[in-house]
Amino acid sequence: MIKLIALYKQPKDKEAFDEHYFNVHGPITEKIPGLQRMEVTKIVGTPMGKESDYYILCEMYYENHEALQNGMRSAEGKASGKDLMGFAGDLVTLMIGEEV
Amino acid sequence: MIKLIALYKQPKDKEAFDEHYFNVHGPITEKIPGLQRMEVTKIVGTPMGKESDYYILCEMYYENHEALQNGMRSAEGKASGKDLMGFAGDLVTLMIGEEV
């Protein structure tokens, strides 16, 4: 399996971030063709008991690289990317990963 | 489910990193009591086609926060932490996450 990973830094306004992330961005992203599973993890701290620099880790699973590329190039994928850059372009780090 | 997330930056010597990570660190970490599943993802790039700053994402699943804390405090957890700091202390970011 291949996954697109989105790691978000702590937003200044968590309430506004959550509102947009869960009610707008999530529903747009879920419609991307080829997306098999989306796993959202809220970062709640570090093992040292400190607050993390990061807020959310989202993992979007696709069957293979081609499916991921096709998904990102689709109308839904472009809408999700545009929305992402609008509300969290300065907070997000995107990575493509292969499960070992 | 709760997970301990270890995100590693690109090492200078990938071969030496892989050798230690997969043959030494993984086997030590797998023995931690309460660890239910360990998912290792190799970062292979970014959606923009560039190399990522990151190399590996490892997710270690526990039933709840208490199980994670107990695991980290165990002899095996301490051995894993000591090994981690020895070979990748300058590369790793640790986070605790809750699945949404």
Tell which residue, A63, A65, A62, A56, has the closest CA to residue A84.
A56
pTM recorded for the entire structure: 0.96
Per the CB < 8 A criterion, the answer to whether A10 and A53 are in contact is yes
Q: Does A52 touch chain B (CB under 8 A)?
A: yes
pLDDT per residue over B11-64, tens digit each?
Answer: 999 999 999 999 999 999 999 999 999 999 999 999 989 999 999 999 999 999
Helix (H, G, I), strand (E, B) or coil at B1: coil
- pLDDT band for position A96 (50/70/90)? very high
What pLDDT score was predicted for residue A5?
A: 98
Predicted pLDDT of residue A21: 98
The span from the CA of A88 to the CA of A21, in Å, is 9
Contact A25/A11 with Cβ under 8 angstroms?
Answer: no
Gap between the terminal Cα atoms of chain A: 9
Distance from the Cα of B11 to chain A's closest Cα (Å) equals 16
Query: Are B43 and B57 in contact, with CB atoms under 8 Å apart?
Result: yes
Selected residue of B41, B42, B52 to mutate for chain A interface (largest A Cβ count, 10 A): B41
Q: Residues of A with CB below 8 A from B97's CB?
A: 41-44, 57
pLDDT at B27: 97
pLDDT at res. A40: 97
Q: pLDDT digits over A42-60, tens only?
A: 999 999 899 999 999 999 9
Q: Is A47 on the interface with B (CB under 8 A)?
A: yes
Token digits of residue B43: 């970062």
Q: Which chain A residues touch B42 with a CB distance below 8 Å? A: 97-98, 100
Identify the residue whose tokens are 């990317």. A81
* Cβ–Cβ below 8 Å for A42 and B3: no
- How does the average pLDDT of chain A come out, rounded? 97
Residue spans of alpha helices (H) in chain B: 14-20, 26-30, 65-73, 75-88
The H-assigned helical ranges of chain A are 14-20, 26-30, 65-73, 75-88
Report the alpha-carbon distance of residue B24 to residue B80 in Å, rounded.
10
Cα separation of A46 and A36, whole Å?
29
- Cβ separation A95–B42 shorter than 8 A: no
